[in-house]
Amino acid sequence: MISTTVAFAAWQRRSICLASKPFILMMLAIAGYATVAAMEAAAILLREKIFWSKLEYVGSGSVITLFLIFAMQFTNKNRWLTPRNTALLWAIPTFNVILVATNEWHGLVWSGFLPDPKGSNFVIYQHNLGFFWIMACVYLYTLTGVVMLIQKALVPSVLSRRQSSMALAGAVLPILGASLYMLRLTPPGLNITPMSFMLAGLFYFVSLFRFRMFDLVPVARDTLIENMSDGVLVLDAQNRIIDFNPALKHLIGVKKQHIGQPAAQVLAKWPEIIRLYHTHESVKTEIFINSVTPCYVELLITSLHNKRKQLTGRLLVLRDITQRYQTQSELRQANEYLQKQVLEIQTLQVQLREQAIRDGLTGLFNGRYFDEIFPKELVRGTRDSERVALIMMDIDYFKKINDTFGHQAGDRVIQVFADLLRYYSDTNSQNIVCRYGGEEFVLALPGLTQEKAFQHAEHIRLSFQAARLESRGKEIYTTVSGGVAVFPDHGKTTDELLQVVDQALYAAKLDGRNCIKCVQSN
């Protein structure tokens, strides 16, 4: 009844643990074994006792096989449970049942049967070599499962250690009961092995409810921590290694024999890690590890505390970010290249902008720039109540120079005149000097009165008149004429000012050239 109750309780939790199915079947086999043993103890006739005794070996064989399968699954050794290996596990108990069933033919299991000297209905079974073979199989199966549970109990994980210890303690009871029966330390004819299995079932029952033997947490530890790609290292309060997963072994080569050793000794190749977990409660950073496989890792260090806020250890998680680091590095390189390209494009745009607003021969602004910027200058002059002088100048007899000395000489004359304009106009950054077209130039001079603008134009005219150029051994002598107007005295728009200043320039040419004319105020 106890074993059946435990089996039912485990069945209700069958979705929590992979090992629950063989455990349920084992507890049902224990229930069947105990039932058959009770029938044997209650039987009076010898043939009935022998019949039930033979059935007991069906129960015991099933129990030890299911216990070994349960231990394999509980300790995550499922890979061994192939169909072939499972069949082999069941082959030996099946052979033993056949051996017991045919004992009348060979007497290898029981050589005889003696009545109880005290007069009870117990029978003392005289054992032969076959019995000791069967018991050896029982010990082999049970001890193999026990060894697996011991290995599981020795892992650093506290939860796995607790659960495996519970399962191990329950497995010791049947071994103890069978040993007492084998050594004849029990009353004659009394086989306490079924009772020991019942006690194991009772122990598992208490463990199932009191200690949650099939709790999900240890299973999750094996499923997640052992199989996760991140390296996990657990240190105690003295910074000794108490647990790690296979991923950490792959990253930095930590081995099982390092359990219990100081982390500073094992991680001596990486002093940065040691420094970080010594000086920080928690930290997240990226470091380079040149170990089994050189790689970049993201290191997360978290301090572990108990309920009283006392330090109990540290958790180090190392995530391989080599691929991400390389991707980010490639992305940075691509961004740098793109930024360089953008800078080059911006430079080209500036150059194109300059080319669009600059005259290629003289380097001065061109007529397009003047038409774009001069109206803005008039708006500023209106806002600041400031005059803006406009000078238009034209090289005298320029066509004759081209015809006489050639276009190259004409270009040189234009360049010399442009240099003079630049020289006399660079004193004020707000001055605008443009080659308006051909041999015609305009100057916008903010803040100058008509008188000041006239003097400015005269300085340019006289300097150009004094300039001497030679071409093909001949001296080039040329002059310049100009007109001066002032905003807003002579016009309030670009067109009005250009019109009046052009008329002043025309008047200078009619007056014999090489002179500057001012627009007369109304």
Q: How far is Cα 271 from Cα 464, in angstroms, rounded to an integer?
A: 78
- pLDDT value at position 485? 95
Closest CA to 240 of 306, 308, 162, 314: 314
Asked if residues 501 and 485 have their Cβ atoms less than 8 Å apart, the reply is yes
All structural domains of the chain, each given as residue ranges with its CATH number in brackets, are 2-221 (1.20.1070), 228-320 (3.30.450.20), 365-518 (3.30.70.270)
Closest CA to 88 of 114, 71, 65: 65
Asked if residues 97 and 137 have their Cβ atoms less than 8 Å apart, the reply is no
Higher pLDDT, 433 or 154: 433
Asked if residues 109 and 32 have their Cβ atoms less than 8 Å apart, the reply is no
SS3 472: coil
Q: Which two tokens stand for residue 286?
A: 């990226």
Instruction: Dump pLDDT digits (tens) for 144-181.
Output: 887 887 776 665 554 455 555 666 676 677 777 767 76
Q: Which two tokens stand for residue 334?
A: 């691509």
Pairing relation of β-strands 365-366 and 432-437? parallel
Neighbours of 142 (CB within 10 A): 20
Say which residues have a Cβ less than 8 Å from residue 199's Cβ, sequence separation at least 6: 173, 177
213 falls in which pLDDT band (50, 70, 90)?
low
Instruction: Dump pLDDT digits (tens) for 274-283.
Output: 888 877 778 8
Instruction: Dump pLDDT digits (tens) for 73-93.
Output: 777 777 788 889 899 999 999
Instruction: Identify the DSSP state of 305.
Output: E
Where is mean pLDDT largest: 21-35, 65-79, 248-262? 21-35
Q: How far is Cα 275 from Cα 129, in angstroms, rounded to an integer?
A: 66
By CB atoms closer than 10 A (0-12, 13-18, 19+), residue 428 is exposed
- pLDDT value at position 153? 61
Instruction: Dump pLDDT digits (tens) for 374-421.
Output: 999 999 999 999 999 999 999 999 999 898 888 899 999 999 999 999
Q: How far is Cα 131 from Cα 161, in angstroms, rounded to an integer?
A: 35
Higher pLDDT, 201 or 2: 2
Pairing relation of β-strands 516-518 and 480-487? parallel
pLDDT for 191 beyond 80: no
Say which residues have a Cβ less than 8 Å from residue 281's Cβ, sequence separation at least 6: 303
216 falls in which pLDDT band (50, 70, 90)?
very low
Instruction: Dump pLDDT digits (tens) for 367-376.
Output: 999 999 999 9
Higher pLDDT, 346 or 253: 346
- Three state DSSP letters for 441-457: EEEEEECCCHHHHHHHH
